[in-house]
């Protein structure tokens, strides 16, 4: 069986930790976060894995390489423009084979018996099997509602109607899919797998929920990230597929004890800065003295010569003005070509705002990404599609080509209560 690990996300809720480091490489109890799901897959004999990349994706590829150090075979599906959960899976199709495959999020800690999940999926002859768990906050994550036969009937309140009472669960980020599901994902571009599943439920197709009871943690916020480090480090949380930690040597032997072997060298960028404190920051420590010889003091009577202006100052100012003008042109093009609101958004009077980012590469290509979502995949896709079309009709000015330029983020506000 092949698997896909979703690692293209921006990690916005974990900023500033993810400003320079992808969420998948944040260290958790001494190893990159993504390594936990990779070790889980390996434990159950799943070694052919594709990982999708977007935010600082090259760092992930450099850290993991081809996977041989972990006993895996890794491939990478790069997304210059983020494609969402559905679009990302669709793009990786050629690496997923023609049989059942598994998809798992990279930002979770989970201890689930995948052999049992696969057996459940095959026994139920499901098109999709979603691994779910009981959680009192299931609504906050988007409830998955199961009937008495563990068949999924509604996702976030949408789908078909089941006979009898339904039970609410939370989706863990692990699912098994039949290859036929790939044909149901819209063509190239941003797409949400949740929308695909809802459409399948409305056609009464077989989606089942495998209820797990083992350990699970989502590391999507600073508080949960700190909790995971604390619990794994203290032994309060253990994962059955990891080798037990070596006991600490006696104090007298610690100096000569060899450093533990690490399976993946942690890049310097994977060491996160400390989380911001809500208290006022203390005054910075004075810089330590250097060993450089003291320099002679300038006489008080000497007049300081004015500093020359940086030679690139005028060029940078012109570039900034051009970038601002280009950004305004994109906004105007997006307004002129704004597509109609989807029916589901109008019917539910959705309100939300989407923040997009545009980076112009040195070769003149403009790449569009989702910096912060609205909470509604449909609105996120609408914003991305609108500005993708704007990028097609507004050419990148020559003055912005030749080196990487990041435009000021674009905020798109939707308020369908006014429509």
CATH second-level architecture of 317-418?
2-Layer Sandwich (3.30)
* Mean pLDDT for the stretch of residues 317-338: 83
Q: Which of 143-157, 292-306, 309-323 has the highest mean pLDDT?
A: 143-157
- Other residues' Cβ atoms within 10 Å of the Cβ of residue 228: 21
pLDDT score of 23: 87
| pLDDT for 354 beyond 60 | yes
pLDDT score of 209: 94
Intervals of CATH 3.30.2420.10 along the chain: 317-418
In words, the CATH class of domain 2-234 is alpha beta
Across the chain, what does the average pLDDT equal?
78
The pTM assigned to this predicted structure is 0.60
pLDDT score of 82: 83
**Concatenated DSSP letters of 282-308:** PPPPPPPPPSSPPPPPPPTTSPPPPPP
Encode pLDDT of 375-406 as tens digits. Answer: 777 778 888 888 888 888 898 888 888 878 88
Intervals of CATH 3.90.550.10 along the chain: 2-234
Task: Using alpha carbons, select from 136, 162, 161, 148 the residue that is nearest to residue 209.
Answer: 148
Identify the band that residue 349 occupies on the pLDDT scale cut at 50, 70 and 90: low
pLDDT score of 348: 60
Encode pLDDT of 173-207 as tens digits. Answer: 999 999 999 999 887 778 888 888 988 998 989 99
* Mean pLDDT for the stretch of residues 208-234: 87
Encode pLDDT of 101-124 as tens digits. Answer: 999 999 889 999 999 999 999 999
| pLDDT for 163 beyond 70 | no
pLDDT score of 9: 82
Burial of 306 (0-12, 13-18, 19+ CB in 10 A): exposed
**Concatenated DSSP letters of 342-394:** PHHHHHTT-EEEEEEEEEE-TTS-EEEEEEE--S-HHHHHHHHHHHHHHHHHS
Q: Is 159 in contact with 167 (CB distance < 8 Å)?
A: no
Alpha helices by DSSP H, listed for 310-351, are 313-336, 343-347
pLDDT score of 254: 34
């Amino acid at each position: 069986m092949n698997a896909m690990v979703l690692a293209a996300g921006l990690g916005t809720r974990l900023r500033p930790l993810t400003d320079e480091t992808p969420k998948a490489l944040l260290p958790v109890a001494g190893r990159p976060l993504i390594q936990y799901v990779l070790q889980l897959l390996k434990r159950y004999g799943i070694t052919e894995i594709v990982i999708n990349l977007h935010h600082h994706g090259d760092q992930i590829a450099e850290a993991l390489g081809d996977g041989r150090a972990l006993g895996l075979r890794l491939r990478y599906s790069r997304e210059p423009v983020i494609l969402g959960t559905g679009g990302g899976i669709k793009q990786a199709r050629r690496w997923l084979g023609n049989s059942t495959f598994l998809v798992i999020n990279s930002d979770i800690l989970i201890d689930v018996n995948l052999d049992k999940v696969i057996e459940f999926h095959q026994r139920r002859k499901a098109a999709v099997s979603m691994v779910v768990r009981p959680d009192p906050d299931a609504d906050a994550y988007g409830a998955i509602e199961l009937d008495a036969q563990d068949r999924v009937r509604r996702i976030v309140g949408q789908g078909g109607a089941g006979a009898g009472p339904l039970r609410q669960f939370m989706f863990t980020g692990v699912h098994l899919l039949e290859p036929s599901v790939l044909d149901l994902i819209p063509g190239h571009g941003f797409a949400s797998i949740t929308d695909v599943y809802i459409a399948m439920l409305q056609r009464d197709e077989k989606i089942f929920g495998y209820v797990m009871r083992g350990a699970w943690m989502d590391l999507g916020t600073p508080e949960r990230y700190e909790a995971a480090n604390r619990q794994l480090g203290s032994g309060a949380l253990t994962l059955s597929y990891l080798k037990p930690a070596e006991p600490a040597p006696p104090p007298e032997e610690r100096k000569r004890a060899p450093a533990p072997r690490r399976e993946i060298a942690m890049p310097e960028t994977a060491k996160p800065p400390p989380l911001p404190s809500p208290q006022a920051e203390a005054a910075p420590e004075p810089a330590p003295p250097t060993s450089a010889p003291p320099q002679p003091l300038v006489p008080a009577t000497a007049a300081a010569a004015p500093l020359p202006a940086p030679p690139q100052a005028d060029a940078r100012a012109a570039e900034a003005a051009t970038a601002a003008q280009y950004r305004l042109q994109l906004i105007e093009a997006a307004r002129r070509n704004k597509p109609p609101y989807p029916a589901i958004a109008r019917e539910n009077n959705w309100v939300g705002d989407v923040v997009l980012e545009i980076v112009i590469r040195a070769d003149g290509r403009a790449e569009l990404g989702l910096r912060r979502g609205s909470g509604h995949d449909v609105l996120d896709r609408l914003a991305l599609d609108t500005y993708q079309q704007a990028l097609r009709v507004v050419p990148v000015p020559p003055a912005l080509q030749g080196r990487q330029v990041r435009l000021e983020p674009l905020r798109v506000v939707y308020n369908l209560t006014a429509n």
